[in-house]
Structure 1
Amino acid sequence: MAKDFSEVFPTLKLNNDLRMIYSDAKVLRIANTSKGDRLRVYIRAPHIIEKKDVYAVEREIVRQLFPNDALTVTIHENFELSAGYNARSLMEAYRESILDEFKSYDRFYYLILSHADFEYPEDNVVRMILDDTLVAREHKDEMVRILEKIFNERCNLAVSVLVDYKEHDESRAGRSAERKINEEIMRISGGLSGKDSESDDAETDSLHTSEDAADGADGYYEA
């Protein structure tokens, strides 16, 4: 049976804003890996919880409850939203959180998505319009997969994501922005060789489904 977030973490001290946001969140279960180095907290809320507020509570759990442990805490959020949401209203409400998550997951995708336009030809369809670049075309399938996972599995809203392309902005400002993107991509590419498999797993963890994340979790607490 699910328990209130405050009941599962009674000693966790949050600021007023976070306490209000999590006041009606339920903890479904808690799972830990066999190494004991990662704790996964599965929650459900009747409203959107912005990603910055998820990250903030993850940090507070580590800081307050596990200050001396080499532990990563990941909250896997699931939303039961009102019937009033469609693809447009959800994207408008959740876009900044999606960008925050893409930035954490992979800055290539974040840079591409941050310059994308969105259209909504139907209530349950998002058309993502990307700059027509080789990088965008190479990564579009994975970006669609992630977006559909967020819409369909986390937000429980059946949405299909389509892809279209737009011409580059050839203005001076557009060329400057493109140059900055390319410089950032080169900087990221130069640092990838030092990233180990463990850090890869940590970065992608928040985009797993509950079932994916449970793989390799030896013990778990059912709320």
Structure 2
Amino acid sequence: MLEVSSLSSRYGRITALHDVSLRVDSGELVALVGANGAGKSTLLRALSGIQPTCGGSVGFEGRDVTRSSPRARVRMGIVQVPEGRQVFSPLPVEDNLRLGAFVRPSAEVAGSLEQVYSLFPVLAQKRKEPAGTLSGGQQQMLAIGRALMARPRLLLLDEPSMGLAPRLVAEIFATIRALRQAATTILLVDQNARAALSIADRAYVIEVGRIALTGSGSELLDDDAVREAYLGL
């Protein structure tokens, strides 16, 4: 579904991504792990079309989308849940969800709302409340639900467990696992490398803007270098 070839990106004179290549097959959950500043979020932003690139290509379902706008990529099915949730705090929960469906025919929105509410019942309970009054975990559910309203073919998750209590982290990862079982294709970035690798079909380790290791989630969980660098073992 996704084919990234020799992708590079810069912030001014600083190169943030160096010839990054990876793939995500249809129906897979692929994890991307690495230290802070390694380039994980930069890569997701580049895949969404938000971060400019200076070399390489991004292919999606056989099409070269390297120069496609963020809006066009959303219409194709590439949808990102951003780091930090970025909900529209003054707006009610339901309006936040409806904004996620801006590329969809209006006749389909009601059905998608019910699907999101069945996945996250707490959002149904709070549908009329301002998004800014939700807890951190509820806002993360809202951010994921808003992305699902666009009917993504490829869901990019950027640090979904950041800043959450352990119980809520477990809930979020259970949701990600359920999405994977429902055949949603996912590229997951998370600082909780153990949790991310434990549910991933395959994974990549990125170091200083370069892909350093790749393998199945279980292989990287058992890799001594990964265990020492990212799992504290």
Tell me whether the two structures share a fold, i.e. TM-score over 0.5. Answer: no
Comparing both structures, which one devotes a greater share of its residues to strand?
2
Q: Give the structure-2-normalised TM-score.
A: 0.27
Which structure is higher in RCO with an 8 Å CA cutoff and minimum separation 6? 2
Comparing both structures, which one devotes a greater share of its residues to helix?
1
Q: Give the structure-1-normalised TM-score.
A: 0.28
